[in-house]
A = this chain, B = another copy of it.
Amino acid sequence: MASIKDVAGLAGVSVATVSRVLNDKGYVGQSTRENVEKAIKQLNYKPNEVARSLFKKKSNTIGLIVPDIMNPFFTELARAVEDKATKSGYTIILCNSDGNIDKEKSYLDVLRQNYVNGIIVSSNTLTAAQVKELNIPVVSIDREISKGLPTIVAENNKGAIIATRFLQSKGCKKIGHIRGTHGVANAEERFNGYKEVVSGEPWYDDSFIVNGNFDMQSSIEATKELLTRHPDIDGIFAANDIMAIGAIKVAYQLGMKVPEELKIIGFDGITLSTVLTPELTTIVQPIYELGEKATTMLVHLMEQQPLEKTYYKLDVELIERNST
């Protein structure tokens, strides 16, 4: 692999000059520039990013920490981040934390040691102090680490309210809720939205809530439990789509017709929700936009450009399909 020295040698100039044309910085004579460019082409020279990084203390790299890329929500997010990052000249390091704080910390170390320019993270265990101490721009996505930290989330509470009210408007008399993972802020918010709507109802009590972990398996068990407790439930709001899909499966197994006997609504708007039969009614958040905007914010932060806002709460939208 040719180095800057080779280019300098071939062009008959010093490495400093080559560096100048490379970075378009400082004075370079017209003919010198052309010579250098010729040499670069001839050697197919590409600057060594590692050496650059060492000097600059930046590696043109963004760390992306998500719980699990297998969760379709994060898959789409990752794709958005990668697209935007590439366009801005950054490269993505992918980190799956499984929501495990030790993995998160260890990734944080690795990223810092690699001079990443910035980090996009979705975590509920990380504290503001840990982030501050990194001394690297960080934007938090889908989950709020602390007020003050650049954050981008969706209207979780509002979405939950819309979802629950919608079930009511469809004639549901008793509505259960499958909660998201405990300790995750967005699960909390969605839960609260649900509660806000139904807590005044005469039939309502805590037994209409079951716990899931934002995954299918937990949802299947939770739904069984819920329907055993309350066979007369006619509506379920699940805190995300995957769990809603699990609920549909259970209903199916139990011989309950969706949506005739039981209406089910989810949250997220993952692509999967349109491929099922019945297609899932859900509160869609703009996932791709979430990732894109997060990256834009981070790029601004990394390049010390001013940030319009440090906190975005993106709107959600009810999409009615066949599960209600």
A147 to B69, CA, bound (A): 32
Q: Are B69 and A75 in contact (CB under 8 A)?
A: yes
> Given contacts A94-B82, A276-B277, is CB(A50)–CB(B46) below 8 Å?
no
- In the complex, whether A191 has a CB less than 8 A from a CB of chain B is no
Instruction: Give the residues from 64 to 97 in chain A that come closer than 8 angstroms, CB to CB, to chain B.
Output: 64, 68-70, 75-76, 78-79, 82-83, 91-96
Instruction: Give the residues from 101 to 137 in chain A that come closer than 8 angstroms, CB to CB, to chain B.
Output: 109-110, 112-115
- Note all chain B residues with C-beta closer than 8 A to A271: 70
Q: Are B75 and A113 in contact (CB under 8 A)?
A: no
- In the complex, whether A254 has a CB less than 8 A from a CB of chain B is no
- In the complex, whether A53 has a CB less than 8 A from a CB of chain B is yes
Nearest Cβ on chain B to A6's Cβ, whole angstroms: 15
Instruction: Give the residues from 51 to 69 in chain A that come closer than 8 angstroms, CB to CB, to chain B.
Output: 51, 53-54, 59, 61, 64, 68-69
> Given contacts A69-B79, A113-B46, is CB(A93)–CB(B96) below 8 Å?
no
> Given contacts A54-B50, A94-B82, A94-B92, is CB(A252)–CB(B277) below 8 Å?
yes
Q: How many of these chains are in the complex?
A: 2
- Note all chain B residues with C-beta closer than 8 A to A216: 275
- Note all chain B residues with C-beta closer than 8 A to A246: 275
> Given contacts A48-B113, A51-B54, A69-B69, is CB(A275)–CB(B276) below 8 Å?
yes
- Note all chain B residues with C-beta closer than 8 A to A49: 110, 113-115
A49: nearest chain-B partner, CB-CB: B113
A80: nearest chain-B partner, CB-CB: B70
- Note all chain B residues with C-beta closer than 8 A to A64: 94
A115 to B53, CA, bound (A): 12
Nearest Cβ on chain B to A231's Cβ, whole angstroms: 21
Nearest Cβ on chain B to A153's Cβ, whole angstroms: 22
Nearest Cβ on chain B to A43's Cβ, whole angstroms: 14
Q: Are B53 and A50 in contact (CB under 8 A)?
A: yes
- Note all chain B residues with C-beta closer than 8 A to A174: none
Q: Are B96 and A82 in contact (CB under 8 A)?
A: yes
> Given contacts A51-B54, A96-B79, is CB(A249)–CB(B272) below 8 Å?
no
Nearest Cβ on chain B to A182's Cβ, whole angstroms: 24
A75: nearest chain-B partner, CB-CB: B75
- In the complex, whether A141 has a CB less than 8 A from a CB of chain B is no
A-B contact pairs, 8 of them (CB 8 A): A49-B110, A49-B114, A70-B76, A70-B79, A91-B93, A246-B275, A272-B275, A276-B277
5 nearest A-B residue pairs (beta carbon): A49-B113, A94-B94, A50-B53, A92-B94, A49-B114
